[in-house]
Amino acid sequence: MKDVMEHLAAVTRQTGTATTPAGEGRTVTLRRVYRAEVEEVWDALTTAERISRWFLPISGELKLGGHYQFEGNAGGEILACEPPRMLRVSWVMGEPSPENFSEVEVRLTPVDGGTQFELLHTATVPPEMWDQFGPGAVGVGWDGALLGLAQHLLHPDVDLSDEEKQAWMVSEEAHRFYTAASEAWGEALRASGASDEFVAAAVAATTNFYAPADQ
């Protein structure tokens, strides 16, 4: 796999707040440039067979107004779709509600040498989760997805088995990746004005979740 640290360095991260139906929500934003045309990135994001190669198996109607479900993960409704530039979906575990509000928007912009990818995840976050993890609990998960997409765009015909994916998840390379991603979200949290004490605690909790020392 191409150096995961090179991928992490290519991503910029921000965290902030937004208004949701339940009141104040939290946001995480990830941006990076992929060396691929906009149409190619869009196809990788919206074709079920390709999505399963770099993320998770998906079922449902992948069209405006349709509902989708990722295997063992989130599901929701396709709320907006403007090929090949913008996609917005609800992103929830279980039944949607104001208290369970979560939306993901992806925007693609042509730039010199490729496509700028921007992902904005807005959600109502339980205070106890935010106080423990900050943005890392969600942000690090998206870092993993963006890494998968990067590898897929480089090698679109590769389709790893579940065993190969699981083997990588417990590898030393994965441990380095998730540790560094957690630290990167700590820096984004610090840039938002959080105290050093909060940042240190959130990074420690996030790292222990994604890359426990005894793994």
- The string of pLDDT tens digits covering residues 132-170 is 999 999 999 999 999 999 999 999 998 888 899 899 999
Mean pLDDT over 52-73 rounds to: 96
Cα(85)–Cα(125) distance, integer angstroms: 28
Percent of the chain residues past pLDDT 70, beyond the cut: 99
Is-contact 106 146, C-beta < 8 A? no
Is-contact 197 30, C-beta < 8 A? no
Dihedral sign (CA 84, 85, 88, 89): positive
Q: In what order do the strands lie in the sheet with 102-111?
A: 12-20, 23-34, 114-123, 102-111, 86-90, 75-82, 67-70, 58-60
What is the pLDDT, as a whole number, of residue 144?
96
Domains defined along the chain, listed by start: 4-210 (3.30.530.20)
Mean of per-residue pLDDT scores for the chain: 94
Cβ-proximal residues to 105 (8 Å cutoff; 6+ apart), any chain: 80, 86, 87, 88, 89, 119, 120, 122
Q: How many CB atoms lie within 10 A of CB 191?
A: 12
Residue 1 has pLDDT above 60, yes or no: no
